Amino acid sequence: MSALLCAALDAMYWKPIQTGSREGTDRATVQRLAELPRNRLIPEAYSFAPPVSPHLAARRARVSINLNKIQIPRLHNAVNLVVEGAGGVFVPLNENQLMTDLMQHLRLPVLLVARSSLGTINHTTLSIAALRAAGIDIRGVIMVGKPNLENRKAIEHYGKICVIGIVPQLTRIDKTSLLRAFRKHFDREALAA
């Protein structure tokens, strides 16, 4: 999803907390898929090798994730920035803070990415409720997978939110296919707000 947004919005990419780096980083994947030059990529504030939740990866590395050490990079006002989380909204970062705390700390609007398949109504509306309870500005939902009109309608109705984009199953994932999906399945005006 981040690669699609970076390619479509000519954005820079930053994932403040990366786990599972022994299998490669999301930064490297986004760079390859969106064909971003290195100067459009911001290094992680924390990076851990094991593919586990941030709190556990940090504990195993004998460090503690400190939100005060995670600051939005200084960029020109005209530059778009895509910031990717690590897991869901209630994923723990340390002994006391969750991903929602990082979102509050960064004070950026959030796009919630959800699967389109069975179970998404419950999972997505719970995540929306958690974000709203934390006072986080949710701009919309992006659904990934085979389009499901009934799930989309339910999320919009019960979540009282717009689905602003859909990423269908792609047979090939590269910059061209990502841009094509964006042009065909996204509300560009909603992202400009």
Which pLDDT belongs to residue 193? 63
Tell me if 49 sits within 8 A of 60, measured CB to CB.
no
Query: In percent, how much of the chain has pLDDT > 70?
Result: 99
Confidence at residue 63, expressed as pLDDT on a 0 to 100 scale: 97
Query: What class has domain 109-193?
Result: alpha beta
Instruction: Please tell me if the domain spanning 1-86 has the same topology as the one spanning 109-193.
Output: yes
Task: Render pLDDT for 14-57 as a digit per residue (tens, 0 to 9).
Answer: 999 999 999 899 999 999 999 999 999 999 999 999 999 999 99
66 close to 93: Cβ distance less than 8 angstroms: no
Q: Say if CB 160 and CB 124 are below 8 A apart.
A: no
Domain residue spans of the chain: 1-86, 109-193
Q: Give me the amino acid identity at 83.
A: V
How many helices (H) and strands (E) are present in the chain, helices listed first?
8, 8
Local structure of 148: helix, strand or coil: coil
Identity of the amino acid at 179: L
What 3 state SS string does 44-84 have?
CCEECCCCCCHHHHHHHCCCCCCHHHCCCCCCCCCCEEEEC
* Residue that the structure tokens 């992680």 belong to: 44
Cβ pair 26, 2 in contact under 8 A? yes
Across the chain, which has 193 residues, the per-10-residue mean pLDDT values are: 96 97 95 96 97 97 97 87 96 98 97 97 98 97 97 98 96 96 94 75
The phi and psi torsions of 59 (rounded to 5 degrees) equal -60, -45
Comparing CA positions, the residue from 50, 35, 37, 24 lying closest to residue 177 is: 35
Asked whether the beta carbons of 30 and 2 are under 8 A apart, the reply is yes
Are the beta carbons of 115 and 138 closer than 8 angstroms? Answer: no
List, by residue number, the catalytic residues: 15
Q: What's the fold here for domain 1-86?
A: Rossmann fold (3.40.50)
Reference 143, options 173, 177, 111, 184; nearest CA is 111
pTM of the predicted protein model: 0.94
Reference 2, options 30, 43, 22, 25; nearest CA is 30
Write down the residue that tokens 């560009």 correspond to.
Answer: 188
